[in-house]
Amino acid sequence: MDIVINTSRLDQFFNLPPDEMFWVFMGNFGWLILAGIFLYGMAQVYLFWVRREWEKEHQTLLLAIDIPKGNEQSPKAVENIFTYIAGAHGSINFFEKWFEGKFQKAFSFEIVSLEGYTQFLVYTPVEYRNLVESAVYSQYPDAEISEVDDYVNAVPHRVPDEEYDLWGTEFIQASASPYPIKCYQEFEHQMGPSETQFKDPMASLMDLCGSLRQGEYLWFQIIVIPTGFDWGKKSDKEIDKILGRKEKFKPGLVAKGVEALGDVSEIIYPIWTDIESEPAKEERPKSMMELTPGEKRKVEGIQMKTSKLGFEAKIRAIYIAKKEVMNKSKVANGLVGHMKQFATLDLNNLKPDVDMTFTRTVYFFRESRLVIKKRRILNAYIKRSDNRGRRPGLYNIEELATLWHFPVEANVKAAMVQKAPGKRADAPASLPIAEEKKTELSDIFTEYSQTLGAKPASAQKSSRPETIEDLIEKKAPPPTNLPFI
């Protein structure tokens, strides 16, 4: 039995001139590709619109966090704060996403320097205010949290202009998201006194923030988006790539249909009986003992990162200053140097997003394009947008706590960082309330009068109080150990 395949139509197609070949292809198949692109674009525009409509129904606020002087808490405390914040994650079904516009709300953890004054802030949806406050108080019971006005309104929103200029960028992961950056445990060593064994990486940023002069502003934000546990699947794929494991094949509808008709090999084999072929040799996956030290370190790093809770996160930084005092070389290079502390060259590091959001242009129409890029990143920062600019990366709670935590004062001298004035204490349980105070004071006065053999209060000289109420009104200075609020 001979099988004849007619290829005349293909030969005719490939013999056409290139321009005719293009139009024949577009007429038969190309329009499907263009229609798919158009439908996808329309779906994204609709999704953006419906999300904005849903977002209008919700409010946000900005919380300033001041911790007491002499903070000795390590970044582990902030790691626990992020663990608590993960409780804001919620599942969203297909109907809620595409018809109601629901999406996972994000938080913005910020460090700002306003002319040298440094403040730690959290930008949060109103409904999660109690969640944020509980998370902070659980680790810093003496902290002070207060709602403040948004500092971004201190400068014009269309910078650059005649008075102000800006520099800005997003920081992205240089390698794939499953690889970890250098975390705070790696900044510890065993030399010197115990209080100085942790070399806080926040010291360089605090020094930079405190060095700003009047008319200079440095804003740093980390947009944090709670996510589920599925993010670890990307890590598993990266480990399989290192070990040489093949991805398990999941048959599609076509493959299942062919399988239902019968084994294809039983049909093809009789036709090609004269062809002898050797079966392909499958490569065996590597074991941990066969990995190089670098590969082993990658696998261990990925697994350690995946073992903790994760978030999607986006990092932005903006430096705004009046043109006469702007010192871009100091602030921009200093901030990039600060972020390079977290580099582990064989795993991952953070770098400025030079290709997309970095405020620099080359080649054509440089000035006009530069103004557009500056205003675009400023607008994204002001709105605390999680979808403008680069796609968020994956970070676990340890990495986030390394990048954003309160400085440890044993080795960070940041004089311009706002701190709570002192530790707060609750009133003693034995402190009498207003109604009890009158009765107890009456008993004390009666006992005191009987001890001295004095006459009742009504028979005392006019120079002394005649009633218990007079004694209450005549207040003595409070004891020095009484707590104040």
Does pLDDT of 179 surpass 60? yes
Does pLDDT of 260 surpass 80? no
CA distance 316 to 377: 9
Per residue in 394-436, pLDDT (tens digit) is: 999 999 999 999 988 766 665 556 665 555 545 445 545 444 4
Residues 6 or more apart from 77 whose CB is under 8 A from it? 139, 140, 405, 406
Q: What percent of the chain has pLDDT over 70?
A: 74
Conformational region of residue 5, where left means phi above 0, alpha means psi within -120 to 50, and beta covers everything else: beta
Domain boundaries of the chain, sorted by first residue: 19-57, 59-233+294-403, 434-473
Does pLDDT of 16 surpass 80? no
Per residue in 55-95, pLDDT (tens digit) is: 888 899 999 999 877 777 888 999 999 999 998 988 888 88
Count the Cβ atoms, other than its own, within 10 Å of residue 221.
21
Q: What is the mean pLDDT of the chain?
A: 79
CA distance 124 to 33: 42
Q: Work out the pLDDT band at 266, boundaries 50, 70, 90.
A: very low
| pLDDT at residue 416, as a whole number | 58
Which CATH fold topology does 59-233+294-403 show?
A: Vanillyl-alcohol Oxidase; Chain A, domain 3 (3.40.462)
| pLDDT at residue 23, as a whole number | 80
Q: Give the up-direction half-sphere exposure of residue 72: CA atoms within 13 A in the CB hemisphere.
A: 5
Q: Work out the pLDDT band at 483, boundaries 50, 70, 90.
A: very low
| Higher-confidence position of 46 and 484 | 46
Q: What is the mean pLDDT of residues 158-185?
A: 91
Per residue in 312-367, pLDDT (tens digit) is: 999 999 999 999 999 998 999 999 999 999 998 889 999 999 988 999 888 888 88
| Higher-confidence position of 52 and 13 | 52
Q: What is the mean pLDDT of residues 116-130?
A: 93
| pLDDT at residue 99, as a whole number | 85
Does pLDDT of 45 surpass 50? yes
Does pLDDT of 480 surpass 50? yes
Q: What is the mean pLDDT of residues 44-65?
A: 88
| pLDDT at residue 375, as a whole number | 93
> What 3-state DSSP class applies to 394?
strand
